Amino acid sequence: MAAKIKLIDPPSSASSESDSTDKENAILNDVDVLEEEADHKNGSSTIDIITPIVAPRSSSKIINRQKMSVVNQSIKKTVSESVLTSQKRTIYTAGRPPWYNTAGQQVEPFVIGICGGSASGKTTVARLIIEELDVPWVTLLSMDSFYKGILNDEDKILAARSEYNFDHPDAFDFDLLKSTLHRLKEGKKVDVPIYNFVSHARESRTKTMYGANVVVFEGILAFHDPGVLKMLDMKIFVDTDADVRLARRLKRDIIQRGRDLDGVLKQYLKFVKPAFSHYIAPSMQHADIIVPRGGENTVAIGLIVQHVHSQLQQRGFALRESLVTLNKGQPLPGSLYILPVTPQIKGLHTFIRNKETARDEFVFYSQRLMRLVIEYALSLLPFKDVIVETPQGIPYRGKRCTADKICGVSILRAGETMEQAFSDVCKDTRIGKILIQTNRTTDEPELYYLRLPKDIKDYMVILMDATVATGAAAMMAIRVLLDHDVPEENILIVSLLMAESGVHTIAYAFPQVRIITTAVDPEINEKFYVIPGIGNFGDRYFGTEPDSSDIQRKGE
Amino acid sequence: MGSTAKMNGCDSAFLKQKFDVDAYGPNLKILRTNDQVKELQTILRDKNTSRNDFKFYADRLIRLVIEESLNQLPFTESIVTTPTGRTYKGLKYQKGNCGVSIVRSGEVMEQGLRDCCRSIRIGKILIESDAETHEAKVVYAKFPQDIAERKVLLMYPIMSTGNTAKTAVTILKEHNVLEENIILSNIFSTPASVKSLLTKFPNLTILTSELHSVAPNHFGQKYFGTD
C-alpha cells in the first residue's frame, strides 16, 4: 500500500501533547526511535498483540504526525494515483455521514477509543486504522476539544508559569464529553467546542460533527471515565515506552517551541509522568487491545481493522471498500437516470466539451442542455393518474404531479448556472443555495454558505450542480439537506456531466437519492476534472479561467 | 357509470392508437413520453387550466417538441479536444436548415425554435379555409430565398383533419423543397390527419407529442387569448 498520508493541522491544534505547525519537523516516525519490543503489563482480560520483529520500514510510507484535535481532517492519498483504484479515495470526517445500511435502517456507529500516554502515538494509530478501514465516514474526536481551559486568575498565573496541570482529569470537561459521545453514538449532530491553546479557553465558535460509521475518540484520559468507557465499542491502548515518549516530547518542545530543557523536564516530572502513572497506565486494564510501539505496529493494526470490519458488517454497514475497488466497469446504479442520448444532446455536448468553443456559445448550448435535463428530472417526480374535462367535451386521461412543493437548491458556483433553467420550467419556485469550496490544501470540500427555503423538509428538492467529479461536494450538499430533515427519497441531484466514480459514491452513500445527468464519463484526472469532460464548468461559464487562454479571448 | 363508460371508451381508443403508431411507418415520430410530458399534455387538455398556465406549459411542451424535431435533422461526426486535453467523439449539426410556421398557431412554436437555434431563418405561410368549400387556400407565403436547398421544420401544433398542413407541404414542394427534407413539427395530431398526410406525402417526416382521436382545437385561441 504505497500511500502518502497527509493530515492537515487545524489552526487551533497546539496542545501540550503535540504541537506541530511545521509539518517537516513534526515528522516523527516511530521507527526512528523504536526498535525494542515494548514491555508492558496488562490485565488478564486484555489481548496482547506483540510482534516479535519490527516490521521493515516502508520507504514510501511517510506519516506526518499531527494532532487530530478537531474534525475536518482528512486522509488523502497522493493525487497522482488513479482515482479508480481502491486506495485512491477520500475519507470524510466532517458533516453528516450515511449511517444507514442498505436497507435504509439507522445503524449505531462503531466507537473506537484510543488511549495512551502523551506522545505515545495515539494519533498515528488512529490515522492508520481509519486509513485501513476504508469506510466512507469517520468522525475523529479528540479529548483536547474538551479541555475546560483556564477559567480563573489563579489558573492563569499557573499557566503562565507552566504550572497548570493539563494532564489531570480535572482539566477536562467529562460531562460535555459524555453527552457529545452519546449524541454521536445516536448519529446526531453535535457542536464540539474548539479549544484554543494560545488563550487557553474555548473559542466562541464550535465545530459541527455528526455521527459516522466509525467514531474514533482519542486522548490521554480516554479510559478514565466509566461513562465514556461504556460507550466505547473497542478500546485500544497505545503502549510506548516512557523514555521514547519523553524523547519525543523533548524533541518537540525544544526544537519546535523553543523551550528550554529544564522547563520541559520540570513539566514532565511534575505533571506528565505522575499523570501517566496515576491515571493513564492503570486505565490500560480496560483496554481490549494493547498496541506496543504505536503506528509502526502494522500487525496489530491489521488485526484491529479486521475486527472492526467484521463488527461493521454485523451491524449492516455495507463497506465502501468493495464498491470502490470494483466500481470501474461495475453496472451503474439503479438510482442513476441518464437523459436518453439523441443527436441534439450529443451535439450540445460536442459544443460544450470543445475547448475551442467561445463563451457565448458555451453558455447558450449548456443552457439548452440544462433545460432538457431539468425537464427530465421533473419527470421523475411522483405523478398520479387523473381524468380531466376538455373543452371538446371528452374526458382526457392524463397525469398530474403530486409533489406540490418543489424547490431548487444550487451548489455554488457552477450549480447556479442551472437556476435559470429550473425557474423556466417551474413556476414560482424557491431556490436555495449552498456554497461548497474545495480546500486547496486538502482537496476536501468545505461548506461555506447556506441559504435554504424555510421548511425545506416539506419539499421535493432538485439539487443542481453543473458537473460531478468525485461527488464530494454533492455528498456534502446532500448531507446538508438530510440535516435539514429532507427525506432522502425527496432529493434529486441534477447535473450536466458526471464521472462514473462520483455516481457510485453518491449512489452508495445515498441509495435513495436520484441522480440525473446527461452523460457519465469514465474517469477523473488528478485535478479532479472529469475525463474527457468539459474542463472547469464554472470558469468557462463565468469567464474566470485562470490564464488568458484562447477560450477566454474568444468569449469576449 | 357514465364516466366509467367514457373512460373505457378512452382506453380502447388509446390502445388502438398505440397499435396504429407502428402502422404509420418510420416517418411518424412520437416524442418520447414520460409522466412529465403526460402532465404537460394534461394541463393543455384541461378546460380548467388558466390562460397564464396554459401558455407557460404549452411553451414547455413546445420546447421539448422542437428539441426532438431538431433530432430529425442531419449531422456529421465531429471529434473535438476538451479542456482536459482529451478527445471527445461528438457530432456536429449540419447547416442549411430553416423553420416555416403556419400562421397563426404555428407561430407559437417560433420562440421555441429561436431558443434552440438563435439565428435560424423562419418563413411563414398563412392558410385560410374557404368559408363555403372548406378548402384550404394559401393567402400568404414568405420563405428564405434558397429554401429549395434547405431542410424545413414546418411548425403546426394542432392537426385535426390535416388539410392545412397538406396545403402547406404542397406549397413548400411548389418552391422546390424536397418532400424528404420536410419535417412537420407538431404537438397533437389525430390519427386521421397523420394517415392522410403520410398517404399523400410518403417521404414527409411527422413529429408529434401525441396521437389522439380528439384534437384540442382550443389551442390557438387559448394561447393567444382570443376565445
Q: How far is A510 from chain B (nearest CA, A)?
A: 24
Are A188 and A211 spatial neighbours (Cβ–Cβ below 8 Å)? yes
Are B116 and B61 spatial neighbours (Cβ–Cβ below 8 Å)? no
Neighbours of B137 (CB within 10 A): 11
Provide the pLDDT for residue A208: 67
Q: What is the pLDDT of residues A175-184, one digit of tens each?
A: 999 998 888 8
Question: Is the CB of residue B3 less than 8 Å away from at least one CB of chain A?
Answer: yes
Provide the pLDDT for residue B99: 93
3-state class (DSSP) for residue A7 = coil
* Local confidence band at A188 (pLDDT 50, 70, 90 cut-offs): low
Question: Minimum mean pLDDT among A270-284, A298-312, A517-531, B183-197: which range?
Answer: A517-531
Partners of B151 on chain A (C-beta within 8 Å) are: none
E-state strands within B6-74: 28-30
Q: What is the pLDDT of residues A377-391, one digit of tens each?
A: 999 999 999 999 988
Q: How far is B227 from chain A (nearest CA, A)?
A: 11
Question: Minimum mean pLDDT among A19-28, A311-320, B42-51: which range?
Answer: A19-28
3-state class (DSSP) for residue A339 = coil
Provide the pLDDT for residue A445: 66
Question: Is the CB of residue A116 less than 8 Å away from at least one CB of chain B?
Answer: no
Strand partners, B123: B100
The amino acid sitting at A319 is L
Provide the pLDDT for residue A184: 81
Report CB contact under 8 Å: A396, B88.
no
* Local confidence band at A63 (pLDDT 50, 70, 90 cut-offs): very low
Comparing B218 with A548, the larger pLDDT belongs to B218
Are A174 and A90 spatial neighbours (Cβ–Cβ below 8 Å)? no
Residue A166 in grid coordinates: 493539563
Chain centroid, CA A45 distance in Å:
34
Provide the pLDDT for residue A107: 61
Report CB contact under 8 Å: B81, A536.
no
Gap between the Cα atoms of A105 and A92, Å rounded: 21
Gap between the Cα atoms of B209 and A394, Å rounded: 19
Question: Is the CB of residue A529 less than 8 Å away from at least one CB of chain B?
Answer: yes
Among candidates A418, A411, A392, A540, which has minimal Cα distance to A481?
A411
Q: How far is B101 from chain A (nearest CA, A)?
A: 21
The amino acid sitting at A135 is V
Q: What is the pLDDT along chain B (227 residues), one digit of tens a residue?
A: 333 333 333 444 444 445 456 678 888 999 888 899 999 999 999 999 999 999 999 999 999 999 999 999 989 999 998 888 888 998 988 888 999 999 888 899 999 999 999 889 999 999 887 777 777 788 898 999 999 999 999 999 999 888 889 999 999 999 999 999 999 999 999 999 999 999 999 999 999 999 988 889 888 888 988 86
Comparing B207 with A131, the larger pLDDT belongs to B207
Q: Would you list the DSSP string of A141-185?
A: EEGGGGB----SHHHHHHHHTT-S-TTSGGGB-HHHHHHHHHHHH
pLDDT at A42 over 60: no
Comparing A87 with A515, the larger pLDDT belongs to A515
Partners of B93 on chain A (C-beta within 8 Å) are: 343-344, 347
Contacts of A249 (CB under 8 A, 6+ apart): A118, A119, A264, A268, A272
- Cell numbers 382550443 correspond to B218
Q: How far is B35 from chain A (nearest CA, A)?
A: 5
Buried b (16+ CB within 10 A) or exposed e, A22-50: eeeebebbbbebbeeebebeeeeebebbe
Q: What is the pLDDT of residues A473-507, one digit of tens each?
A: 888 788 778 877 888 899 999 999 998 888 888 88
Q: What is the pLDDT of residues A348-367, one digit of tens each?
A: 999 999 888 888 899 999 99
Q: How far is CA B133 from CA B12, B136, B140, in A?
A: 34, 9, 19
Across all residues in chain A, what is the average pLDDT? 73
Among candidates A7, A17, A43, A30, which has minimal Cα distance to A218?
A17
Task: List B residues 171-210 in contact with A (Cβ-Cβ < 8 A).
Answer: none
Report CB contact under 8 Å: A390, B47.
yes
Provide the pLDDT for residue A210: 61
Intra-chain end-to-end CA distance of chain B, in Å: 32
Which among B87, B88, B115 is the top mutation candidate for probing chain A, defined by the most A β-carbons within 10 Å of its own β-carbon? B88
Are A468 and A503 spatial neighbours (Cβ–Cβ below 8 Å)? yes
pTM of the model: 0.61
Are A18 and A123 spatial neighbours (Cβ–Cβ below 8 Å)? yes
Residue A51 in grid coordinates: 510482534
Question: Is the CB of residue B226 less than 8 Å away from at least one CB of chain A?
Answer: no
Neighbours of A356 (CB within 10 A): 12
Nearest residue, CB atoms, B71 vs list A343, A364, A427: A343
Q: What is the pLDDT of residues A193-250, one digit of tens each?
A: 888 777 778 888 777 676 567 888 999 999 999 999 999 999 999 998 888 899 988 8
Q: How far is B86 from chain A (nearest CA, A)?
A: 5
Provide the pLDDT for residue A280: 92
Partners of A354 on chain B (C-beta within 8 Å) are: 80-82, 88, 90
Report CB contact under 8 Å: A347, B90.
yes
pLDDT at A312 over 60: yes
Partners of B73 on chain A (C-beta within 8 Å) are: 343
Contacts of A554 (CB under 8 A, 6+ apart): A356, A358, A359
ipTM of the complex: 0.84
Q: Is A79 left (phi over 0), alpha (psi -120 to 50) or beta?
A: alpha
* Local confidence band at A48 (pLDDT 50, 70, 90 cut-offs): very low
Provide the pLDDT for residue A94: 38
Strand order in the sheet with A520-521: A467-468, A497-499, A520-521
Provide the pLDDT for residue A439: 61
Among candidates A409, A478, A449, A521, which has minimal Cα distance to A92?
A478
